[in-house]
Amino acid sequence: MKKNDNNKTGNNKAGKGVTKLPSMAVNVAGLKLSNPVMTASGTFGYGLEFAPYLDLSRLGGVVVKGLSPKPRPGNPGPRIVETPCGMLNAIGLQNVGVDAFIEEKLPKLRKVKTRVIANIFGESVADYVLVAKKLDGARGVHAVEINISCPNVKKGGMSFGVNPKEAARVVRAVRKATALPVITKLSPNVSDIAEMARAVEEAGSDVISLINTIPGMVIDIEKRMPVIARGIGGLSGPAIRPIAVRMVNEVYNAVSLPVIGIGGIMNASDAIEFMIAGASAVQVGTASFVDPQAAEKVVDGIADYLVRHKMSAKKLTGSLQK
Amino acid sequence: MDSITSKILYNEEVAPGYFRIGLEWKGVLVLPGQFVMLRVSDSLDPLLRRPFGIYKVLNPKWVKSAGGYRGSGIELLYSVVGRGTIRLSRRVAGDVAGLLGPIGNGFPVPEQSRNKEQKVIMVAGGVGTVPFYLLADLLGADSALLVGARSKEVLALVKDFRPLKCKVAISTEDGSVGAKGLVTDLLKEEIAKGGPSVVYGCGPLGMLKAVAEVSESLGVDSFVSLERSMACGIGVCLGCAVKGTEHAARPGRPPEYVMVCSDGPVFKSSEVEWSRL
Ligand SMILES: Cc1cc2nc3c(=O)[nH]c(=O)nc-3n(C[C@H](O)[C@H](O)[C@H](O)COP(=O)(O)OP(=O)(O)OC[C@H]3O[C@@H](n4cnc5c(N)ncnc54)[C@H](O)[C@@H]3O)c2cc1C
Ligand SMILES: Cc1cc2nc3c(=O)[nH]c(=O)nc-3n(C[C@H](O)[C@H](O)[C@H](O)COP(=O)(O)O)c2cc1C
Ligand code: FES
């Protein structure tokens, strides 16, 4: 590690009281983050909802709820159920639609000093392209994250997320439609995650994020019916973390793109585990429900770790010892 | 709304399977009918916070301009039904617990909702008495609490209401206390006494549905406090959705679903699609 690898990015609140703070800044394929901690789509609303609980400007970035061309009402309830160390959800991608996001949410988000990543999805390649184009011209959006993997909607993401050719088709089209960095968010619901990663790398994705939720089911044994109205929901939370860490490591070894690790991160140790496995940055999801301040606490905890190990965030990535 | 780490002041069993827990929260402002999301333990299992109605405010002071009570803490009353509440029942004074809230709109308070002569009829199923204590205290003789329960546990639920001026009537399934039968029979009688009234309900879904139907058929407005599984409590996970009727639509939002945590938990009965619940 270079001696002068200290913080120059102005992220000085983390690791309070320490004079020489190792650099927390990461550059994820052109997306410059003050630290590696983002929030995961669908778990942080449109960002501003959390302003009463934490300092949004201390987060590396905020990934907003998935956006579609038109507003979507979502699925009937019950939509969620708790599981051992996790939860299942079948929200059905309820969202305000890309236009309302740009007109109503974005102007307020622009006032917050953080990176805004727009998560997008659609039911056809044309849908994805339409949303990506609209966001391309929108001031205050710093990257798009393509959700090719949402398991909730029958006609939606799944077909793209499980088939390398289909995934590549979406990525290629979105890549053409926007000048913003393109993050492709992978589904864990495949037999060979490395193959998926290579397919989206070839198609021009700048970054890969993973994992999305894992399809699961919970049954009410008295009624002999699924608890969630849709039957199947996406599993998230600490229960999925070891699977996610393994997949991040496989993708890190398979491609040369930066990887964003997601899945069951509850605290800084969990986040650090992902970075050692190969993640350049991480996203905090379900933890924000359990504790609305979770993401900011992860930032603090990573800073402490980096100080203790005299290491920059960049150096931590992929530092797994064999 | 705030997210704090609160000290447990007491946690004691008031009847078999029913506990009241006192939580320190200096300066808290509570509207009658609001709730909190409580972290029952620091463990990852159970993972999610649990929603509980605010029963009492400790050292309460009525703040007219806010339509709520300010105090030094809150008391919850909960029944032990599963993993989370079992854990909670084992916590002791001096422990700390994460608290998020106070959440939600609460029941309309008198100044906003009615003229002087209007009577508020509160209908509770079991531990559904919780959101009515502050209201009953406030409204006194202008209110009536009708409680439906299974059996004798109801005595513990109504005990705190006895010293208030609010009228209390009870029905139990086994007839061990009060009238034998359904709380909606009490409701019909209470409405039939005449005079303008409004009905507030909290309890199991089936009961709320019956309360809404009885009220509507007798030409009285009703409001219900709904329960849904919740993850966040702040309107972001979109997990606690219920189907709303056309005029429940809020500006700038797809009309179909309303969130129990951030749009409720109290809804006008006519704004809820009961057939879809
Ligand atoms: C706005 C709101 C206010 C509430 N206020 C109170 C209160 O003042 N006092 C009180 O005792 N309870 C209250 N509840 C219900 C309370 O949240 C649940 O009983 C509790 O979450 C159960 O947790 P558990 O881990 O013990 O049970 P679990 O193991 O999660 O479940 C055990 C049983 O309880 C049922 N259950 C789980 N969650 C709920 C829920 N949210 N509503 C209804 N049934 C549920 C399950 O279906 C299951 O049958 C309230 C719920 C809501 C949504
Ligand atoms: C309630 C809920 C809603 C979600 N909505 C989206 C979404 O709209 N788009 C998306 O790409 N991922 C969505 N996700 C997946 C998360 O972003 C994340 O990938 C997943 O939950 C795993 O991370 P976690 O275990 O930290 O929550 C959602 C997850 C949850 C729990
Ligand atoms: S509990 Fe998350 S939106 Fe209501």
- Please say if the pLDDT value at position A149 is more than 90: no
Residue A103 touches partner B, C-beta closer than 8 Å: no
Which CATH number fits the domain A26-74+94-213+238-314, given the four candidates 1.10.3720.10, 3.40.50.740, 3.40.50.300, 3.20.20.70? 3.20.20.70
Higher pLDDT, A278 or A11: A278
Q: Is B261 near ligand 3, meaning CB less than 6 Å away?
A: yes
Q: Is the pLDDT of residue A131 over 80?
A: yes
* Residue B246 confidence class, pLDDT cut points 50, 70, 90: low
Interface contact flag, A238 B235, Cβ < 8 Å: no
**Chain A residues touching B252 at Cβ < 8 A:** 96, 100, 104
Is pLDDT of A14 > 90?
no
Q: What 3 state SS string does chain A have?
A: CCCCCECCCCCCCCCCCCCCCECCCEEECCEEECCCEEECCCCCCCCHHHCCCCCHHHCCEEECCCECCCCECCCCCCCEEEECCEEEECCCCCECCHHHHHHHHHHHHHCCCCEEEEEECCCCHHHHHHHHHHHHCCCCCCEEEEECCCCCCCCCCHHHHCCHHHHHHHHHHHHHHCCCCEEEECCCCCCCHHHHHHHHHHCCCCEEEECCCEEEECEECCCCEECCCCCEEEEECHHHHHHHHHHHHHHHHHCCCCEEEECCCCCHHHHHHHHHHCEEEEEECCHHHHCCCHHHHHHHHHHHHHHHHCCCHHHHCCCCCC
Residue B194 binned pLDDT confidence (cut-offs 50, 70, 90): confident
Whether chain B has a CB inside 8 Å of the CB on A76: the answer is yes
Show the ligand 1 pocket: residues with CB < 6 angstroms: B 35, 46, 50-53, 76-79, 81-85, 127, 130, 227-230, 265
Element (H, E) at B201: strand B197-202
In this complex, do A43 and B257 lie within 8 Å of one another by their Cβ atoms? no
Residue nearest to atom 7 of ligand 1 (CA): B52
Q: For ligand 2, say whether the CB of A205 is within 6 Å of any of its atoms.
A: no
How far CA B46 is from CA of B82, B233, B235, in Å, comes to 10, 16, 21
pLDDT surpassing 50 at residue A9 = no
A197 Cβ neighbours under 8 A, 6+ residues apart: A186, A208, A250, A251, A254, A255, A257
Segment A164-187 mean pLDDT: 95
Does A150 participate in catalysis according to the annotation?
yes
Q: pLDDT at residue A13 above 50?
A: no
For the ranges A17-26, A179-188, A209-218, B134-143, the lowest mean pLDDT is seen at: A17-26
Q: Average pLDDT of chain B?
A: 92
The kind and range of the H/E element at B58 are: strand B56-58
User: Quick one: pLDDT at residue B161?
Assistant: 95
Position B118 scores a pLDDT of: 84
Which residues are paired to B6 by β-bridges? B97
Residue B86 CA to ligand 2 centre (angstroms): 29
**Separation of CA B231 and ligand 3 centre (Å):** 6
Question: What is the average pLDDT across B185-189?
Answer: 93
What pLDDT, on a 0 to 100 scale, did the predictor assign at position B141? 86
- Report the pLDDT averaged over residues B59-65: 93
Q: Which residues of A touch B45 (CB under 8 A)?
A: 84-85
Nearest chain A residue to B37, by CA: A290
- Distance between Cα A225 and ligand 1 center (Å): 19
Q: Which ligand is nearest to the CA of B48?
A: 1
Choose the mutation target among B50, B238, B240, B246 for the interface with A, i.e. most A CBs under 10 Å: B238
Catalytic residue chosen out of the listed positions A33, A64, A150, A167: A150
Contacts (Cβ under 8 Å, ≥6 apart) of B78: B18, B19, B20, B21, B52, B85, B88, B127
Q: ipTM beyond 0.90?
A: yes
Cα–ligand 1 centroid distance for B52 (angstroms): 8
The answer to whether the Cβ–Cβ distance between B47 and A237 falls below 8 Å is: yes
Average confidence (pLDDT) over A25-54: 95
pLDDT of B259 higher than 80: yes
Mean pLDDT of all residues belonging to chain A = 90
pLDDT at B252 over 60: no
Ligand nearest to the CA of B38: 1
Q: What is the mean pLDDT of residues B87-103?
A: 97
Is the pTM here over 0.90, yes or no?
Answer: yes
Q: What does the pLDDT look like over B111-134, one tens digit per residue?
A: 644 456 789 999 999 999 999 999
| pLDDT per position as a tens digit, A81-102 | 999 999 999 998 899 999 999 9
